[in-house]
Amino acid sequence: MRFLFIFIILNSLLSIGLHGQNKIFISGEIKDEKDNPISQALIAIEGTAVGTYSNDNGAYTLELLPDKYKIVISSVGYKTLKAEITIQANKKQDFVLEENKVTLEGVTVYGKSRVQQIRESSFAVNVLQIGESLQNSSANLNNIVGRTSSVRIREEGGTGSDFDLSINGLSGNSVRYFIDGVPLSSLGSGVSLSNVPTNIIEQVEIYKGVVPAHLGADALGGAINIITKKNQRNYLDASYGIGSFHTHKADLNAQFIESKTGLIIRPTISLNYSKNDYTMKGVEVWDEDCRKYILVDRKRFHDDYSSLFGQFEVGFANKTWADALFISCSYSEINKELQTGSVQSKVYGMAKKESNAWNISARYQKRDFIIENLQLNASLSQTWDRSLTVDTAYRQYDWNGDYIETPRNEITGRGRSMRHYKRPAAIVRTNFDYWLNERHSFNANYLLNRLNNERYDDVDADFEASNDVMAKHILGLSYGQSLLKRRMSNTFFIKEYINHLNIRQTDIPSVTGSKEVTGSITQNFFGYGISTRFTIVDPLAIKASYEHSVRLPLARELLGNGTTVYANVALKPESSNNINMGIFGTWRPASGHTFYYEANGFLRYADNYIQAAVSEKEGTLQYENVPSVHIKGIEGEVHYNWQNKLQLSTNISYQDARDQGKYKTDGKISATYKNRVPNQPWVFGNVEASYAWRNVVLPESKLRLGCTYQWVHWYFLTWEAYGARESKARIPTQYIYNTNITYSWKHGRYNIALECANIFDETAYDNYKLQKPGRSFFAKFRLFLN
């Protein structure tokens, strides 16, 4: 397979023409006659499918080859503007649109936004633009990403709770997270989709199964790449929100450009706090009078969550010596009380987790680096990440908030523990993009992620401190083709994974394998893939992709945790053969009406799953490779947009994960072989609708009313075929309705949003009996100055 793949690439290389042409950028702002920015204006090259939309600040950027173009700029409510422009180098060009007092009938809309372009690439990818409506809302990235097809997020509670995100049925460590192509963990282990400030985000790319080589990911099931804003003018974006369960959110994000030197300063700060004191319905409390447990409703009492994220970035953009050079420093801190264990009947009242991380990083971007058509993206990052789990109270709590003094701690039922993890991490990313011509491009990516894993305990004297070192080198090479006048595009890629370990723990070598691999060890693994897209007619295209993906074991899996998890340094990486195939298209049946549809089928053949197994010794775990699952599924989504006023979208996902462990540990056929994997949602969907009115009450205002509906079909907690069906534990069907109303005036300078989540106060849980919040309200004010 590997040789076939290399052959395909070599064969393709031989067909490459030699007409090298440099890609350049045209950028600027779209404004009205009163100098107000116009968002969502379409900037398109006439006669082609190339185009983009202006962002909230009216800014746009188009990537083109040097040539003469007829540019068409259109926006609802404004006269369409056409201009002929010749560009030979990067160019800044602003446009002013004239308000159209007459009917908009007959305005021709064409061209594609950047979001649409990525969505229509050969990869199976969802792209979410974090537009003003999302930035005005209280939704975090988890909420937003969780409403897309194929993605399911299972939360254990309210704000800041632990969650598990799955893409096409693969979850947990199978999915990798990035911010601007750099692992999100560089901001600290506590930073996740639930607390990354949304107002710094331009868009989110969700890669399903097949992950482009430029991300440098050892992802088995997919990757999520957060793209931050790259505005080119001064602005201040500040918001504060308050909601149910004593929830407060405040964000500040700004950019100041010093006019003389062009020095750009970007401060960001984000605060989240919630008591999460929502009502738990039907929890057990002991009634001594009737001597039994009775079911009552009680508020959560030990679930405070706070997060702080601050970042300060300085640098330059659009200089002759750098398209971007920035240095940044960030700090994150998460404090989290723990209310329950893995089930709601395990109630905690004192245990908590804390983490903080400092990061310093630098990034450099340059087009035409050394040679023409070569673009360099490089970044360096050093993170000092610490976390602490405090479990020192010898108490046992109940849902009344009462406790008894006990002879053991809350979480593990053992002795007191203050467990520290120090994980300094260095990340280096180097990415070269080279366009040979408009049809052929190459990308080379190198990612180094070096991690120390130092553990110690303040009070548990028996805990064995250790400091292990892991370094992952991930090399990716890809070659992209654009053929048949861009109707077809192909990408071929290979990835090399190098895992270097320095094992310094030597205890119990017969169990951990540390006798054989003490000291340094380096392992190599190989991955590869291909993706293709072919446009049959404009509203109909097909795409297919394949990747043999690999996930390297994590520190905890390889090296244990010092107490309850033994090391297994002989662990193999997980691997999967991922296949996607789908159709998609954009159909514009009439002026102002746009339909986008997409339907995909996917297969995931995952093997050597890394799974925790109980070892013979009391209460200990060890990760091991097990035969895993095959997943097949289909998903579809449809979007409809009428003049940017009415927006409707719906998606549905079906996935069928079957156990592939043919044999039990005793060597006999397992009853679970080819059975549906339990405790996993297998069919779920979302519906969203919104309508926007302009100039309501105040001029230059916008009123938007939106609602969402989320549905997850019930599923069994355990293997469905075994045990009397009527008595089996289930995670019930979820029907969650949310609604929101947003009012913006002064062209989005002032924004107020009111939201109600879970309107009908449904009892909902993603994990067995771990209740999520009921009905909640949230109000947010956002100020955007530019």
Partner 1 sequence: MKKFRFLFSMFMVITMALSFNACSDDDDPSKDPDPETKIDYHFDIFMTVGKHGGMNRGDGTIVKSVDALTANMEMIDIKNDGIEFRSPDNTYSMEAIVKGKYYYQVPNSNDRFTKLQVVGNSVNIIQEQKFAQNTYKVRSYTHAWINDNTLVIMSANGDADKVIWTKLNVDDMRILAEGTLDLPLPEGAKVFTTSGILTYSEGAGKLYYFYYGKNKTGRGAVATSNFLSAVINPSDMTIESSKVNLLASEMAGSAYGELMQNCVMYDESGNLYLAAFTDANEIEQGHLLRIKKGETDFDASYEGYPNADGKLLTIQSLGNGKALTYARNDATGTDIDSYSHYYSIVNLNTGARERLKYNGQEIPYSSGRFSQRTVVVDGKAYVGVNTADSNPCIYIYDIETGNIEKGVEIAEGYYFDNLRVLKNDE
SS (H, E, C) 49-70: CCEEECCCCCEEEEEECCEEEE
Size of the site for partner 1 (CB under 8 A): 67
Which one of 94-102, 147-155, 306-314, 343-351 is the stretch in contact with partner 1 (CB under 8 A)? 343-351
Q: Is 416 in the site for partner 1 (CB under 8 A)?
A: yes
Q: State which H helix or E strand residue 336 sits in.
A: strand 324-337
Cβ-contact 389, 417 below 8 angstroms: yes
With 0-12 / 13-18 / 19 or more C-beta atoms within 10 angstroms meaning exposed / middle / buried, residue 84 is exposed
Q: Is 619 in the site for partner 1 (CB under 8 A)?
A: yes
**Between 485 and 674, whose beta carbon lies closer to partner 1?**
674
Q: Is 407 in the site for partner 1 (CB under 8 A)?
A: yes
Q: Is 290 in the site for partner 1 (CB under 8 A)?
A: no
Residue 43: CB minimum distance to partner 1, A = 55
**Pick from 437, 447, 334: nearest CA to 385:** 334
Over the window 177 to 196, marking each residue x when it contacts partner 1 by CB under 8 A and - when it does not, the resulting string is --------------------
What are 205's two structure tokens?
């790319």
Which one of 33-41, 90-98, 403-411, 600-608 is the stretch in contact with partner 1 (CB under 8 A)? 403-411
Over the window 720 to 739, marking each residue x when it contacts partner 1 by CB under 8 A and - when it does not, the resulting string is -xxxxxxxxx----------
The DSSP secondary structure of 378-393, one letter per residue, reads EEEEEEEEEEEEEE--
Query: What is the C-alpha to C-alpha distance for residues 81 and 98, in angstroms, rounded to an integer?
Result: 8
**Between 147 and 302, whose beta carbon lies closer to partner 1?**
302
Radius of gyration of the chain, Cα coordinates, nearest whole angstrom: 27
Q: Is 404 in the site for partner 1 (CB under 8 A)?
A: yes
Which one of 82-90, 104-112, 257-265, 391-399 is the stretch in contact with partner 1 (CB under 8 A)? 391-399
Q: Is 415 in the site for partner 1 (CB under 8 A)?
A: yes
Find the binder of partner 1 among 326, 566, 584, 715 (CB under 8 A). Answer: 566
Over the window 673 to 702, marking each residue x when it contacts partner 1 by CB under 8 A and - when it does not, the resulting string is x-----x-----------------------
Provide φ and ψ at 511, rounded to 5°: -90, -45
Interface positions, 699-718, toward partner 1 (CB under 8 A): 717-718
Q: Is 510 in the site for partner 1 (CB under 8 A)?
A: no
- What residues contact 284, with CB distance under 8 A and at least 6 apart? 293, 294, 295, 296, 345, 399
Find the binder of partner 1 among 35, 84, 665, 760 (CB under 8 A). Answer: 665
**Pick from 651, 638, 751: nearest CA to 134:** 751
The CA–CA distances, whole Å, from 505 to 20, 417, 456, 565 equal: 54, 21, 13, 13
CA contacts within 13 A on the Cβ side of 400: 9
**Between 2 and 617, whose beta carbon lies closer to partner 1?**
617
The CA–CA distances, whole Å, from 380 to 186, 284, 426, 765 equal: 10, 51, 8, 40
Which one of 180-188, 221-229, 292-300, 534-542 is the stretch in contact with partner 1 (CB under 8 A)? 292-300
**Between 35 and 405, whose beta carbon lies closer to partner 1?**
405
Residue 770: CB minimum distance to partner 1, A = 12
Cβ-contact 132, 750 below 8 angstroms: no
Query: What is the C-alpha to C-alpha distance for residues 304 and 495, in angstroms, rounded to an integer?
Result: 42
Q: Is 409 in the site for partner 1 (CB under 8 A)?
A: yes
Q: Is 519 in the site for partner 1 (CB under 8 A)?
A: no
Residues 703-726 as b/e (b if ≥16 CB within 10 A, e otherwise) read: bbebbbbbebeebbeebeeeeeee
Which one of 38-46, 200-208, 660-668, 731-739 is the stretch in contact with partner 1 (CB under 8 A)? 660-668
**Between 67 and 297, whose beta carbon lies closer to partner 1?**
297
Over the window 452 to 471, marking each residue x when it contacts partner 1 by CB under 8 A and - when it does not, the resulting string is --------x-xxx-------
- What residues contact 171, with CB distance under 8 A and at least 6 apart? 152, 164, 165, 221
What are 238's two structure tokens?
């500040």
Query: What is the C-alpha to C-alpha distance for residues 447 and 739, in angstroms, rounded to an integer?
Result: 42
Find the binder of partner 1 among 709, 719, 765, 781 (CB under 8 A). Answer: 719
Amino acid at 108: T
Find the binder of partner 1 among 507, 516, 538, 761 (CB under 8 A). Answer: 507
Residue 620: CB minimum distance to partner 1, A = 6
**Pick from 679, 747, 655, 765: nearest CA to 151:** 655
**Between 485 and 730, whose beta carbon lies closer to partner 1?**
730
Find the binder of partner 1 among 12, 21, 502, 564 (CB under 8 A). Answer: 564
Residue 666: CB minimum distance to partner 1, A = 4
Residue 228: CB minimum distance to partner 1, A = 41
With 0-12 / 13-18 / 19 or more C-beta atoms within 10 angstroms meaning exposed / middle / buried, residue 222 is buried
Q: Is 421 in the site for partner 1 (CB under 8 A)?
A: no
Residue 519: CB minimum distance to partner 1, A = 20
**Between 4 and 461, whose beta carbon lies closer to partner 1?**
461
Q: Is 668 in the site for partner 1 (CB under 8 A)?
A: yes
Q: Is 418 in the site for partner 1 (CB under 8 A)?
A: no
Site residues, partner 1 (CB under 8 A): 284, 286, 291-293, 295, 343-347, 394, 396, 398, 404-409, 413-416, 460, 462-464, 507-508, 511, 562-564, 566, 614, 616-620, 659, 661, 664-673, 679, 717-719, 721-729, 769
